Amino acid sequence: MSTVVSHPELQRWINEIFDHCEAKEVYLCDGSQEQFEELAEKLVAAGTLVRLNEERRPNSYWAHSDPRDVARVESKTYICSERQEDAGPTNNWRSPLEMKATLTDLYKGSMRGRTMYVIPFSMGPLGSEFSIIGVEITDSAYVVLNMMYMTEVGRTVLERLGDDGNFVKCLHSVGAPIDDEESEDVPWPCNPENTYIAHFPETEEIWSFGSGYGGNALLGKKCLALRIATAVARREGWLAEHMLILKLTDPSGRVHYVAGAFPSACGKTNLAMLVPTLKGWKAETIGDDIAWMRFGSDGRLYAVNPEKGFFGVAPGTSSKSNPVAMETIKHSTIFTNTALTEDLDVWWEGIEQEPGKLTDWQGKPWDPSVGSPAAHPNARFTVPASNSPTIAPEWQDPNGVPISAIMFGGRRSSLVPLVTESFSFDHGVFMGATMASETTAAAEGKVGKLRRDPFAMLPFCGYHMADYFAHWLAMGESGDDSKLPKIFLVNWFRRDADGRFLWPGYGENSRVLKWMIERVEGKVDALSTPLGLVPKPEDLDLEGLNLEPERLTQLFDVNESELIEEVVSIEEHFNSFGPKLPKRLWDHLERLRSTIRNN
Ligand code: GTP
Ligand code: SPV
Ligand code: MN
């Protein structure tokens, strides 16, 4: 095989994979528009993509996946640290040796008949102290196009890497060789029986096999920027988090940046693109899924968004719920598993337009009488962040933006109030460590089941979760108390007895954000409750909302028997981590328990 790059170790690895996977040819991705178009055309010819109506949705494509390959597969995701105890009880584990043996067999000849794409990419602005370079080798052109929207790809990255720079090796194969030259390829090749998403945190490698879906295949995202990055961040003293980053400007022009961790499909993209209903407030996006944070020389915590695009949930997105997203995806967008209209545009449940006759996400004819959803609940759009009308001008600042407040939130139909401020940074870590949320369609498995999802990182922490809690506590300790972000627990998803959401959410969440900022600025007091500090009724700006006082009460009501159940459930959760669980977190649980006893 000819030389394609000047970096000797990268070239050696390319040769090794090319020989072992028996690919047909090598294709180096340079990040150019020409290559994007060439590959998009190839995918249209293969039936993987449908080009959308140029007038209604310029430069955009629709894909629908194999019905067995629609979400992240947590049951097949592994952290392969040398020692099992380093992966901890929340991760699947195999020894690196064993996993590599299994996968080496599977990769043997797995790219036969296919092109092997080499994608040099950067997570984080090139040249920033924050960034990490990766190279993904994949046999999927669909992955290449998505990576081009989600990350910085190509020549600029290779230049930065030089001839001896470090990079994370990210290997991906859909695991579907084409053995017979004559036979036609399927539109969405994958290998669900043999899917593995394996991470080797010590050697900083990712081996992914069998799936073409986002989080399993776009290896810069969850695999590198979270699972590998958490392990690196722990060693180096920073944080890699499943968080949105939002810029808020108050009516007097004062700017605050806030970050927020919510589990998959629990509102990060929506909050990151919020249109405040409060007069005079402005919101702009820095990032919608991942935040890398470290202390700056001024002692404040700075965050960058390591991504360059959004891979967002389509269903439920409308010009009412998220007008900014609707504007962002007007052109140059890849849609996966939405429905397709007769005039080649996209449709999903919750969009405002009437459906009419459609092709559903499985490629079958659909009309409302069919009964099942036309779009898969985890249908997604992939779009460059630069498409967004409200992306903040500083969104790629290599130094990041200083964070004033951090939110933790999940789907809790009961118990957890609309907003609670932590008593201290430590107590905020307790809030993060005990977060729970009802499961969504973003991962395989049942939807709507309550599970503990600490820091919204349950599927994404690359090491022992109790060590991760300790790392958060240590970060708090190393910071200057007066400069640490304030921490808040929020819940947009509380329901009334009839199952309706108590809080209108979306743009109205700006009312909660305003209170948080006023707390950060020391402008208002708060009321102390067993769970934390809550707004005094007069401090939550509800003007023009028409929220019945009864509903407001319910939004903050903490039922004692539910609280007792919660304490018991947190105790179980903590026990599952064994002796590694930091004592300070147990102390917070005991304090909470004592408030019940004292009543
Ligand atoms: P990932 O991309 O999977 O990490 O998810 P995300 O956290 O970015 O989720 P997203 O913003 O796409 O939210 C998905 C779901 O949450 C959709 O069904 C939204 O309609 C719903 N949602 C978002 N914000 C709110 C809110 O404030 N209130 C209510 N009730 N639902 C919301
Ligand atoms: C999530 O599931 O949290 C996502 C989508 O953001 S994926 O990239 O598939 O992980
Ligand atoms: Mn996510």
Q: For residue range 431-488, list pLDDT tens digits in order.
A: 999 999 999 998 888 899 999 999 999 999 999 999 999 999 999 999 999 999 999 9
Does 216 show up as a binding residue in the annotation? Answer: no
Cβ atoms of 174 and 185 within 8 Å: the answer is no
What's the CA gap between 431 and 434, in Å, rounded? 5
Does 132 share its domain with 26?
yes
Q: 387, 420, 450: which is the final residue of a domain?
A: 387
Q: Is 382 in the pocket of ligand 2 (CB under 6 A)?
A: no
Q: Report the atom number in ligand 2 closest to the C-alpha of 216.
A: 9
pLDDT of residue 442: 85
Ligand nearest to the CA of 495: 1
In a domain, residue 565? The reply is no
Question: Which range of residues forms the domain containing residue 489?
Answer: 240-308+396-558
The model's pLDDT over 368-386, given as tens digits with 9 standing for 90+, comes to 898 899 999 999 999 999 9
Instruction: Give the ligand 1 atom nearest the CA of 321.
Output: 20
Kindly state if the Cβ of 221 falls inside 6 Å of ligand 1: no
> What does the alpha-carbon distance between residue 120 and residue 136 come to, in Å, rounded to a whole number?
6
Identify whether 570 is part of a domain: no
> Mapping DSSP to helix (H, G, I), strand (E, B) and coil, where does residue 74 land?
helix
405 and 460 fall within a common domain: yes
State yes or no: 269 annotated in a binding site.
yes
Residue having the nearest C-alpha atom to atom 29 of ligand 1: 505
Annotation says 266 is catalytic: yes
Q: Does any domain span residue 582?
A: no
Residue 599 above 60 pLDDT? no
Shared domain check, 298 and 175: no
Rounded to the nearest angstrom, the distance between the alpha carbon of 350 and the centre of ligand 1 is 12
257 and 232 housed in the same domain: no
The Cβ-side half-sphere exposure at 472, using a 13 Å CA radius, reads: 28
Helix (H, G, I), strand (E, B) or coil at 593: helix
Ligand nearest to the CA of 260: 1
Domain containing residue 177: CATH number: 3.40.449.10
- 392 annotated binding-site participant: no
**Mind listing the pLDDT tens digit for each residue in 207-227?**
999 999 999 999 999 999 999
Residues 381 and 425 in one domain: no
On whether both 135 and 260 belong to a single domain, the answer is no
Residue 507 is assigned to a ligand binding site? yes
314 lines ligand 2 (CB under 6 A): no
Residue nearest to ligand 1 atom 24, measured at CA = 267
Q: Is the pLDDT of residue 322 over 90?
A: yes
Residue of minimum CA distance from atom 5 in ligand 2: 215
Four-CA torsion 195, 197, 200, 201, nearest 10 degrees: -170
Both 446 and 509 in one domain: the answer is yes
> CA angle at residue 236 from 235 to 241, to 5 degrees?
90
Question: Which residues partner with 315 through β-bridges?
Answer: none
Sign of the alpha-carbon torsion through 329, 132, 217, 22: positive
Q: Both 208 and 255 in a single domain? A: no
Residue 100 located in a structural domain: yes
Contact 216, 195 (CB under 8 A): yes
- Cβ of 505 closer than 6 Å to ligand 1, yes or no, is yes
pLDDT at 554: 97
The interface pTM score, or ipTM, of the predicted complex is: 0.99
The distance from CA 174 to its chain's CA centroid, rounded to whole angstroms, is 22
How many DSSP H helices and E strands does the chain contain? 16, 30
Pair (216, 263) in one structural domain:
no
Q: Is residue 66 part of a domain?
A: no
Domain count, the chain: 3
Kindly report the pTM of this predicted structure: 0.98
User: Residue 233, Cα to own-chain centre: how many angstroms?
Assistant: 17
Cα 559 to Cα 530: distance, rounded to the nearest angstrom: 12
What pLDDT does 138 receive?
Answer: 98
Closest approach atom of ligand 1 to CA 508: 27
From 205, 220, 236, the end of a domain falls on: 236
| CA dist., res. 86 & res. 467, Å (int) | 9
Q: Does residue 573 lie in a domain region?
A: no
- Sign, Cα dihedral of 225, 228, 231, 232: negative
Calculate mean pLDDT across residues 570-574.
98
* 598 pLDDT tier (thresholds 50, 70, 90): low
Task: Give the closest ligand to the alpha carbon of residue 291.
Answer: 3
Ligand 2: atom nearest CA of 264 is 3
Q: Is the CB of 453 under 6 A from ligand 2?
A: no
Residue 52 lies in a domain: no
What percent of the chain has a predicted confidence (pLDDT) above 90?
95
Give the chain's length: 599
- Among 28-37, 180-189, 570-579, 585-594, the range scoring the smallest mean pLDDT is 180-189
If you measure from the C-alpha of residue 301 to the centroid of ligand 2, how many angstroms do you get, rounded to a whole number?
25
Residue with CA nearest ligand 1 atom 11: 267
Ligand 1 nearest-atom number relative to CA 270: 11
Q: Are 440 and 449 in contact (CB under 8 A)?
A: no
Q: What pLDDT sits at residue 182?
A: 73
76 Cβ neighbours under 8 A, 6+ residues apart = 92, 195, 196, 197, 210
72 CA → ligand 2 middle, Å: 7
Work out whether strand 532-535 and strand 526-529 pair parallel, antiparallel, or are unpaired.
antiparallel
Which stretches does DSSP call E strand in 397-469? 401-409, 419-421, 436-438, 450-452
Q: 221 CB under 6 A from ligand 2?
A: yes
> Which of 170, 190, 266, 461 is an active site residue?
266
Tell me the C-alpha distance between 328 and 333, whole Å.
9
pLDDT in tens, 136-186: 999 999 999 999 999 999 999 999 999 999 999 999 999 999 988 777 889
Residue pointed to by tokens 């969009």:
351
Whether 72 is in the pocket of ligand 2, judged by its Cβ within 6 Å, is yes
From the list 308, 259, 363, 358, the residue with the least C-alpha distance to 128 is 308
What CATH number does the domain containing 259 carry? 3.90.228.20
- One domain for residues 172 and 321: no
- Residue 407 near ligand 1, beta carbon < 6 Å: no
Which CATH number does the domain housing residue 371 bear? 2.170.8.10
Residue 47 forms part of a structural domain: no
Q: Which two tokens stand for residue 428?
A: 């905020």
Q: Are residues 25 and 15 in the same domain?
A: yes
Give the domain-ending residue among 368, 387, 406.
Answer: 387
Task: 127-131: list long-range contacts, CB under 8 Å, 24+ apart.
Answer: 127/160, 127/398, 128/304, 128/398, 128/399, 128/400, 129/294, 129/398, 129/399, 130/292, 130/294, 130/304, 130/306, 130/398, 130/400, 131/306, 131/398
368 and 512 both lie in a single domain: no
